[in-house]
Amino acid sequence: MHAMVLTAPGASLLLEQREDPVPGPGTVRVKVGACGVCRTDLHVVDGELPGITYPTVPGHEVVGRVEALGKGVTALKLGDRVGVPWLGYTCGECAYCASNRENLCDRPRFTGYTRDGGFATHLLADARYCFPLGEQGDDVAIAPLLCAGLIGWRSLVMAGDARHLGIFGFGAAGHIVAQVARWQGRSVHAFTREGDAEAQRLARSLGAEWAGASEDQPPVPLDAAIIYAPVGALIPRALRAVRKGGRVVCAGIHMSDIPSFPYQVLWGERQLLSVANLTRRDGEEFFKVATQAGVRTHTTAFPLREANEVLTMLRAGQITGAAVLQP
């Protein structure tokens, strides 16, 4: 197998040849067909997340086929097409797992972070955390759904029944959530980097009623806003954009420091919430909704060996929609 390997914080990924991994009990070897590139991958590569053990292989939006079965795996069979998401293992024993909040597990493992991920031709995955995908759809088009879609769905649920919804950061997650929100009958307002006309055009093409820069005020008070960009300064801006009683949902795993702001911006029973990881139930719900809503991802595919260049483009805001690597 081949993998793009991270050897130190901030280092360029190195293309390595390795022995094919052998699945142990409860795991499967997946031959990767496509792996989406997520902003969380940047946080892993830049060493912004704690507890990384090097070397490691990033990538957690994996679509592939089961190539080998470990002992005890019965729910999957050879050749099945599966999706491997960010949450790759939970203990099943802690208070959070026992209360149906496995996304908050005390002893989790994460694909492409604390276990090798999909920037490779093959990976090992816990069979319990592989989503059966069936045969409909293209691997590249499906890959962003494994994180941008799943976290997007969880954040949309946390936004409640907001009629007027703001989306700050119109990238991989934003362009998926906008489609679901419009299908649900919500009014979507997209906030992008200043001058990002291409992202604003994409937002309008997907049904957004308004698209502008993150510094702008929307034409109507928002019922809720979701922040996908890892920029702490967006929080007071989003709070100013939502009405009394509105919600601001922070959907990223990492964000720059939040600047101080007047209490008046939060007052009026506005709520500030965060999303942490995902659950398998999120996946079961979202894939049904995505099919019903006719979600179509806007993707650009790149060869696996160009992972470093793609990460650089993502960091610079030069990817519209989602980037996907193919072995």
The pLDDT, as a whole number, for residue 109 is: 97
This prediction's pTM? 0.93
Confidence of residue 160 (pLDDT cuts 50, 70, 90): very high
3-state secondary structure 107-163: CCEEECCCECCCCECEEEEEHHHCEECCCCCCHHHHHHHHCHHHHHHHHHHHCCCCC
The pLDDT, as a whole number, for residue 198 is: 94
CATH architecture of 149-274: 3-Layer(aba) Sandwich (3.40)
The pLDDT, as a whole number, for residue 181 is: 98
Query: 224-240, pLDDT tens digit by residue?
Result: 999 999 999 999 999 99
The pLDDT, as a whole number, for residue 153 is: 97
- Say if CB 268 and CB 247 are below 8 A apart: no
The ranges assigned to domains in the chain are 2-147+278-326, 149-274
CATH architecture of 2-147+278-326: Alpha-Beta Complex (3.90)
Query: 255-297, pLDDT tens digit by residue?
Result: 999 999 999 999 999 999 999 999 999 999 999 999 999 999 9
Query: 115-158, pLDDT tens digit by residue?
Result: 999 999 999 999 999 999 999 999 999 999 999 999 999 999 99
